Amino acid sequence: MKKILVANRGEIAIRVMTTAKKMGIKTVAVFSTVDRNAPHVKFADEAVCIGEAPSNQSYLKGDKIIEVAKQLNVDGIHPGYGFLSENADFAELCEKNDIVFIGPRSKAIKIMGSKLAAKEAVKTYNIPMVPGIDEAITDVEKAKSIAKQIGFPILIKASAGGGGKGMRIVEKEKDLESQMKRAISEATSAFGDGSVFIEKYVSSPRHIEIQVMADSHGKILHFFERECSIQRRHQKVVEEAPSSVLTPELREEMGQAAIKVAKSCDYLGAGTVEFLLDADHNFYFLEMNTRLQVEHPVSEIISGVDLVELQIKVARGEKLDIAQEDLKINGHALELRVYAEDPLNDFLPSVGHLDVYQLPSGQGIRVDNGYEEDMDIPIYYDPMLSKLITYGKTREEAIMLMKQAITNYKVEGVETTLPFGKYVCEHEAFTSGNFDTHFVKKYYSPEVLQKNTEAEAKIAALVAVNQYLEDQKTLRLPVN
Amino acid sequence: MDSKQEKINKLKERIALSKLGGGQKRIDKQHKNKKLTARERIDYLLDEGSFEEIGALVTHRSTDFGMENQIIYGDGVVTGYGTIHGRLVYVYAQDFTVFGGSLSETHAEKICKVMDMAVKVGVPIIGLNDSGGARIQEGVRSLGGYADIFFRNVQASGVIPQISAVMGPCAGGAVYSPAMTDFIIMVEQTSYMFVTGPNVVKTVTNEEVTSEELGGAQTHATKSGVAHKTSANDVECLEDIKKLIQYIPQNNTETPKLLDYTLKDEVRDVLSNIVPDNPNKPYDMHEVISGIIDTDSFYEIHKEYAENIIVGFARLGGRSIGIVANQPMAFAGVLGVRSSKKAARFVRFCDCFNIPLLVLVDVPGFLPGTDQEWNGIIVHGAKLLYALSEATVPRVTVITRKAYGGAYDVMNSKHIGADFNFAWPGAEIAVMGAKGASEIIFRREIMAAENPEEKLAKKEAEYAAKFANPYRAAKRGFIDEVILPKNTRRKLLKAFASLENKDVNRPKRKHGNIPL
Amino acid sequence: MSSHLKVKVDDRFDFDICKDDISNLDITQVSNSKYHLLQNNKSFHTKVVASNFTTKEYEVSVNNTAYKVSVSNDLDILVKDMGFTLGSKKAISSIIAPMPRLILDVSVVVGQEVKENDPLLILEAMKMENSITSPIDGIIKAVHSNKGDAVEKNQLIIEFE
């Protein structure tokens, strides 16, 4: 594989190209008109403009990307995450055009892309799943009987959905009918498909996911877990590896389960199997993400591998020459997603200009960055500026480094999730490891952040006034 | 015998009293009338902490009419020095809370002292006027006080810049001091200036008129031209002064400070599309000015008076210049009595203080009519001609369209000593417009023609083709260069830079006899 | 010298600070622009990053976060209370002819609402056509002349409400 096209932008494009360069592989970047000056364009060996700013006119145009790839004699396409990474049709298109799609085969994407198909596939491997029914239903009576079976509280989840839409928690039986009806109507209007799953609602759940990698010679490895319970609006903001609650036995159990899930769909390449962990440390399979994920760096750091490098090797048909027994956890890694969002304003995107943008650096600090100072944040794409990753010998060290790194990360011109990250790192529930996916709901409100800022602002005011009074005393001579 | 501490306390008491002026009640009244006090005005005007007060403990010496029982420190005027944007200035602010700001012998002495100091060190003097007039109890002593000030205004005239703000009443004899200063800025609604007030006017001429109508800010800005600028309130007035100061030097031996400016290509395409093709269509000369000067650097003087000519300060590449420009949108840009006076005084101010002049010309001539002739357009028009001819500062002219007749001569032509004369391709330099000229020159032909109108039109077109352009003048070197409008700024930047060390002398004499 | 100051931080927070607050501060100077504060026993590392005494604007970093601070003294507060703002507009209520002119066209009617710079009428004078635009936002109260009329000096042409 001599040349790779990265069908993506921002930090992940740079991350993938960095490894490609390391491996001596030439890189091609694609960009929309509004991304002409973006760092990922300047980083690549070759770059082609593929359309206008809106994603569906540029980064989602699979056929255009294939056209460019063919023109430039590209051997492989890395889709990054988001955009076309889990688009089975695109994977097929690559296969048809004799270009290696650096990821799973289209069949695996299709299977794991549907909750129904996914559950069917893993059933044969006895992977524990959240108690519930295997089929999506719309009948309220049936829902009632199922709910009685699995016991309350239950969760109603839209079959075709995600992102929290069509999801409802039902605590008591008497609420079931009305909640069911509302969930179905929500799902119908959002996704055009009103069928829902009923499953047990796991209280105090922790979101634990396992990184897996499969080659074309039948070998599947796991690279330990990631804890991703700090989420807001069902989107991850802080991730870490390893989790602070997993025992080595549980880790091995979950790791093996993840490998089986990958096997069940004849997987190839990098993937992530997501589980829910309840208070009693029972784990349940949620879904598999058939792509390289945003938070992959924390796994890389503790296991000492370059996942993108492995992806490329696997795509080239090589064997994975690592043994599972040889993989060991080294230290602790923490990641904060730095979004251009205002944590004081419900995390709404903070669009603007990066007047100041200076990254922290030093021992134990890694920034997977996609922006530069003086850039405008385009409104068309995901507002993630970078991933701030710290690693230390212990979890405490990683947290301390994260706090320092956040302080030294200078951004002016837009609001970011950095102050939120600092808040998390200073919160007792997080530092003690005693948290679940309800962390943000329980402990965070903009007022809390505001209060901290206000205290500092008052100090700033006092120091300024102090300076002012000092300046008043200084004699100033008139100049003629 | 007082101890040291007691002595210090006594001083502190006096200082505290002096700061109160006429007392808190009167201060509150001043505020209620939407006016700041004298001290507040000075605080706002000058850089923070820079004010050094002089004569805070001066009191009057009057013993008539029981005045000896009313002693107020400062005697109604706050005087001293400070800095504006770091530049030293002397300032006096009349305190309306003390005897209505009225002028006494000692009040005048304080003002004279700072005027003398300003001349001694060569810095501007700024007067914030807010006074009921002469302190009647002092009789002729207060008249004498006024005269002392007037005399000094004249000695300082053209030596240091003198700026007057009228921020309250200014009536009777008091008006002559501001009148002889370089610029008067009046605050709207709360200030007025007149020699005789409405009461006396009523008794003598039977006219009923309010103070505001007779001598308010609007009146003086539009009717009389006494006020060079008006401001909506005290604060805007003080900001206006701070802005004005930046364009002028400290005294007549210096040039204004050059601001930093990074040069680029300085081509201004916007200038190409301002003058319409139809010579009878007007355009706003302000647009031409904006197109030439540094962004947002125009400080207009006399904006609402004699609108057919525009005068004001501006920056060209950071350099402070004075601009005189005909305004085709008002009265077709002709010169008249008021516009000539307005421009002439401005030119002379710039000449006093080494500020180079840019003259933009689009003038069809002088305004005809009995109103003009009987009001002496002859003499007043001559003022502008005189002022420009007399000025030894760098003078550059750009003719944008018309330059007819005597007005061509007057508007800084080469013959009266302009340094550079540019013309745009659409310039028409001629004795008069094509129509008028043709009517005269070809009168016989036209009268004899079958269709006189058609003949006139034909002759007019011929005349226009031959004379309504800049080339006959360019041929003789009356115009140095015919330039493209978009390059005007480039040409002017270079022109003024090259003229920086211009040094011209006039024959020695006490002073000329400009037709006043 | 005012002892009572209003301070605005980052355009978001307002504080009232008096001289006593400062004299009671536990603050030590660490270096030229760095100060260490102890407040409620909490430690704050501060640095005066930028200061402009004339405009009373300062930039202070507290524990490495930068804040923009604007200080207002008694005079600033007084000016604000008195409602003195910069850039106020004048009220104009009528358009009069400054000299004898011929009205070529009138483009507004009584009761019409106009915005600043909307065209009102076209006058001819000195062989020049002048378009007169509205100096204010307002409503036309009266139009005293018509197309084709010649107006005298100072004759009232248009009145605003």
DSSP string, C95-155: EE-SS-EEEEEE---TT-EE-TT-EEEEEEETTEEEEEE-SSSEEEEEE---TT-EE-TT-
Label residue C99 by pLDDT band (50, 70, 90): low
Contacts from B266-273 at CB under 8 Å and sequence distance 24+? B266/B317, B266/B489, B266/B490, B266/B493, B267/B486, B267/B487, B267/B489, B267/B490, B268/B292, B268/B486, B268/B488, B268/B489, B269/B486, B270/B486, B271/B485, B271/B486, B271/B488, B271/B489, B272/B484, B272/B485, B272/B486
Residue A189's pLDDT is what?
Answer: 73
- Give yes or no for A126 touching B (CB within 8 A): no
Interchain contact, A479 vs B48, CB within 8 Å: no
Helices and strands: H and E segment counts in chain C: 2, 15
- pLDDT, one tens digit per residue, over B396-428 is 999 999 999 899 999 999 999 999 999 999 999
Q: Mean pLDDT, chain A, as a whole number?
A: 88
- pLDDT, one tens digit per residue, over A409-424 is 989 888 899 989 999 9
- Give yes or no for C6 touching A (CB within 8 A): no
Q: What is the interface size between A and C, counted as CB pairs within 8 Å?
A: 85
Q: How many CB atoms lie within 10 A of CB B253?
A: 10
Residue C122's pLDDT is what?
Answer: 79
Residue A104's pLDDT is what?
Answer: 93
Share of chain B above pLDDT 70, in %: 100
For the ranges A136-145, A433-442, B106-115, C22-31, the one whose mean pLDDT is highest: B106-115
Give mean pLDDT, residues C133-148: 79
User: In the annotation, is B173 catalytic?
Assistant: yes
User: In the annotation, is B407 catalytic?
Assistant: yes
Residue A470's pLDDT is what?
Answer: 87
Residue whose pair of structure tokens reads 């043709």 in the numeric block? B438
Question: Which one is predicted more confidently, A104 or C100?
Answer: A104
Interchain contact, C125 vs B332, CB within 8 Å: yes
- pLDDT, one tens digit per residue, over A235-284 is 889 999 999 899 999 999 999 999 999 999 999 999 999 999 988 888 99
Give mean pLDDT, residues B333-361: 96
Residue B364's pLDDT is what?
Answer: 92
How far is it, in rounded angstroms, from Cα C105 to Cα A228? 74
Q: What is the pTM of this model?
A: 0.75
Q: Enumerate neighbours of B (3 or more CB pairs within 8 A).
A: A, C
Tokens of residue C19, six digits: 């001289």
How close, in Å, is residue C36 to chain B by CA atoms? 27
Buried b (16+ CB within 10 A) or exposed e, C81-94: ebebeeeeeeeeee
Task: Tell me which residue in A410, A454, A468 faces C13 most closely, judged by beta carbons.
Answer: A454
Give mean pLDDT, residues A329-349: 89
Q: How many CB atoms lie within 10 A of CB B500?
A: 11
- The Cα-based distances of A448 to A235, A304, A418, A444, B292 in angstroms read 21, 38, 15, 7, 54
Tokens of residue A4, six digits: 């790779």
Give mean pLDDT, residues A290-306: 93
Chain C hits for A466, Cβ within 8 Å: 22, 25, 27, 35
Label residue A448 by pLDDT band (50, 70, 90): confident
C89, pLDDT greater than 70? no
Instruction: Kindly state the DSSP code that residue B367 receives in the 8-state scheme.
Output: P
Best C70, C75, C81 member to test B by mutation, with max B CBs in 10 Å, is C75
Q: Mean pLDDT, chain B, as a whole number?
A: 93
Task: Tell me which residue in C1, C25, C65 faces A466 most closely, judged by beta carbons.
Answer: C25
Best C20, C54, C69, C75 member to test A by mutation, with max A CBs in 10 Å, is C69
Contacts of A389 (CB under 8 A, 6+ apart): A297, A298, A301, A333, A334, A335, A336, A365, A366, A367, A368
User: In the annotation, is B172 catalytic?
Assistant: yes
Chain A hits for C71, Cβ within 8 Å: 464-465, 468
- Interfacial C residues in 71-110 facing A (CB < 8 Å): 71
> Hey, what amino acid is at A423?
Y
- Interfacial B residues in 30-69 facing A (CB < 8 Å): 47-50
- Interfacial B residues in 467-506 facing C (CB < 8 Å): none
Answer whether A206's CB lies under 8 Å from A227's CB: yes
User: In the annotation, is B406 catalytic?
Assistant: yes
ipTM associated with this complex: 0.73
- Give yes or no for A475 touching B (CB within 8 A): no
Task: Tell me which residue in A472, A476, A480 faces B250 most closely, judged by beta carbons.
Answer: A480
- Give yes or no for A174 touching B (CB within 8 A): no
- pLDDT, one tens digit per residue, over A45-68 is 999 999 998 888 899 999 999 999
Tokens of residue B308, six digits: 């057919």
C145, pLDDT greater than 70? yes
Q: How many CB atoms lie within 10 A of CB A147?
A: 22
Residue B256's pLDDT is what?
Answer: 94
Catalytic residue among A9, A206, A291, A366: A291
Q: Enumerate neighbours of C (3 or more CB pairs within 8 A).
A: A, B
How close, in Å, is residue B202 to chain C by CA atoms? 24
Contacts of A113 (CB under 8 A, 6+ apart): A86, A88, A290
Interchain contact, A480 vs B87, CB within 8 Å: yes
Label residue A161 by pLDDT band (50, 70, 90): low
B451, pLDDT greater than 70? yes
- Give yes or no for A476 touching B (CB within 8 A): yes
Helices and strands: H and E segment counts in chain A: 16, 20
Chain A hits for B86, Cβ within 8 Å: 478-479
> Hey, what amino acid is at B190?
T
How close, in Å, is residue A478 to chain B by CA atoms? 5
Q: Phi first, then psi: what are they for B514, rounded to 5°?
A: -60, 135
- Give yes or no for C63 touching A (CB within 8 A): yes
Tokens of residue A474, six digits: 């200084």
Min mean pLDDT across A86-95, A322-331, C85-94 is at: C85-94
> Hey, what amino acid is at B215?
G
CA dihedral sign, ordered C108, C110, C115, C121: positive
Residue C110's pLDDT is what?
Answer: 82
Per-residue three-class SS string for C88-107: CCCCCCEEECCCCEEEEEEC
- pLDDT, one tens digit per residue, over B479-495 is 999 999 999 999 999 99
Would you call the peptide bond into A242 cis, given omega within 30 degrees of 0 as the criterion? yes
Residue C90's pLDDT is what?
Answer: 55
Give mean pLDDT, residues C2-22: 82
Residue A377's pLDDT is what?
Answer: 87
Catalytic residue among B343, B387, B407, B437: B407
Min mean pLDDT across B25-29, B265-269, C26-30 is at: C26-30
How close, in Å, is residue B220 to chain A by CA atoms? 34
B357, pLDDT greater than 70? yes
A166, pLDDT greater than 70? no
B186, pLDDT greater than 90? yes
Label residue C1 by pLDDT band (50, 70, 90): very low
How far is it, in rounded angstroms, from Cα B9 to Cα A472? 23
How far is it, in rounded angstroms, from Cα B187 to Cα B229? 9
Residue A198's pLDDT is what?
Answer: 82
Task: Tell me which residue in A407, A412, A465 faces C71 most closely, judged by beta carbons.
Answer: A465
How far is it, in rounded angstroms, from Cα A369 to Cα A387? 6
- Give yes or no for B236 touching C (CB within 8 A): yes
Answer whether B315's CB lies under 8 Å from B294's CB: yes
- pLDDT, one tens digit per residue, over A83-123 is 899 888 999 999 999 999 999 999 999 888 887 788 888 88
Q: Enumerate neighbours of A (3 or more CB pairs within 8 A).
A: B, C
Give mean pLDDT, residues B9-16: 93
Give mean pLDDT, residues A306-322: 93
How close, in Å, is residue B48 to chain C by CA atoms? 6
- The Cα-based distances of A173 to A135, A150, A169, A177, A183 in angstroms read 20, 12, 11, 8, 15
- Give yes or no for C12 touching A (CB within 8 A): yes
Answer whether A215's CB lies under 8 Å from A318's CB: yes
